[in-house]
Amino acid sequence: MVRGKQGIGRWVWTRAGCLLAAVWLSLELMGGAAVLARAEQPVPQAAPAAQQMEAGQAESPAKQAQAAAAGQPGDETYAILAGGGRIRAEREYAVPEQPTVYLTFDDGPSKYTEQVLDILQQEEIKATFFVVGQLVPDRKAVVSRIAREGHAIGNHTYNHVYSELYGSFKGFWSQAVKTDHVLEEVLGEKPFLLRAPGGTATNFDAFYFYYLEQAGYTIVDWNVDSRDATRQGVPAEEIIATVKKSPLKHQLTVLMHDGAGHGETVKALPEIIAYYKEQGYAFAALDRNVKPEQFSLARSKWARSYSPDSFASSTALVAASGLERQEKAQQAEQERLLAEQTLRAQEEAAAALAALAKQRAEEVPLSVALDPASTWMLAPGSYSFAHGRFAVPLRGLAERMGTRVAWDEAKRTATVRSGLLTVEIDPVRRTITETRPGRTPTVRYLADVSLTDGEIRIPLRYGVGLLGSRVESYELNPSDRRVQVASKSGKHTAILYPFDSWTLV
């Protein structure tokens, strides 16, 4: 609406009047010192001397509500915000199946940032870095590395000076925009994550939240404070102890710092990671699908004033940025979906090709030349061929090499012996256990060991090696497959002792 526009319906005046009466009554009941909060519990704190005002002299919430009732632009929204109420956009977030920790690092980049990145790389986990804009130009390579290694990057304002950020929203906005620009120069895109220096509690009011969310930012606080910045040089042991004392939840956003003077945080990081891994947590970087941790709206300790005119101008100021971020978010989501579909198609194509190759391999016969006078012919389907490896029936291979295999019905395993070597084959677990006198048994896992159509199949190369021979050569022809087996001595040297009391395979 525009000031003075005629024809406003009576219901609007009635609604605005009710709102004004509610504000007045709340001020009377609370001594005029409280700020209303919709579904939020205020944290009372004494306000210091007035800082820079956003628009003229400070106005009471009652006067601001009166201005809203007079028909200012966005009067209903303005009235809610002036009364201390949050206006939240409704959206759904994904909840990870596994408990997840989002490690976050503020105030970098610094010389410690690369040490943090080294640890994260070694641990194979992702994190989120909220960077200070004025530090980026001197450490562009570090910022590039953060993004290249799959971590998230957020805006932590340009100079981190509280009085310039919280005296007025215009001061905060100018720093957020400036940081966006320096990050875009390095990364090719602006961040959507934003963390307020010192956190939002008592620094933000409802207007700050509203403006920044309209601009497309996701505002992130934390629910685990490592307290590594409570004073200079907090010892690593104290940081670790503080983190371990924090309550465990399904999703944890941990506040730490990688800025100047935080070498102790680097020392504490490996043990913090180990602690959360022991508790069964996964690690991830923040993204658009993660519900951001935010403090409850509390009474601001900064004396700021707002008017309907300043509200209209600030809303217009952030609108263009919000539209740009919304378009980029939609584009990023489309690219993500396209990448997922492409990957799925590639996986399905690879699986189809593998199945076709297996089918074709099993549609042709296999001949295994054990010696010049003996060739073992395997019909299509009586052997397997996958990943360039043949798997053949254990019994057929043993019989053609002059040995037998014993079957233990109770253990469901087959056993063969070659000299002092005893080999137990478990087709269910797909393991082969080799035992020699006086030595610790060796257990091998072979994916090609299987129980197919009631017979045990083992890798051909392993089987002939076990029986004292080796695969000398092989041919893969369109019409058949050929394998040449040769003994080092010219004849088979293995002797497998028959087990007369055991059931033969």
- Catalytic center residues: 106, 257
> 179-185 contacts: CB < 8 A, separation 24 or more?
179/131, 179/132, 179/133, 179/136, 179/155, 180/155, 182/133, 182/136, 182/137, 183/131, 183/133, 183/136, 183/143, 183/153, 183/155
Structure tokens at 342: 């492409």
Rounded CA-CA distance 275/460 in Å is 46
Q: What is the SS3 assignment for 492? A: coil
> Do 139 and 292 form a contact (C-beta atoms < 8 A)?
no
DSSP character string of 309-344: HHHHHHHHHHHHHHHHHHHHHHHHHHHHHHHHHHHH
Rounded CA-CA distance 343/261 in Å is 43
DSSP character string of 75-90: HHHHHHHHTT------
Of 86, 74, 75, 58, which Cα lies nearest the Cα of 17?
A: 75
Structure tokens at 300: 């601001």
DSSP character string of 12-51: HHHHHHHHHHHHHHHHHHTTT-----TT---------S--
Q: Are strands 389-393 and 455-459 parallel, antiparallel or unpaired?
A: antiparallel
Stated as kind and residue range, the H or E segment containing 101 is: strand 100-108
DSSP character string of 371-399: ETTEEEEE-TTSSEEETTEEEEEHHHHHH
Instruction: List, in order, residues 6 or more apart from 317 with CB less than 8 Å away.
Output: 173, 211
Of 372, 85, 101, which Cα lies nearest the Cα of 226?
A: 101
Q: What is the SS3 assignment for 500? A: coil
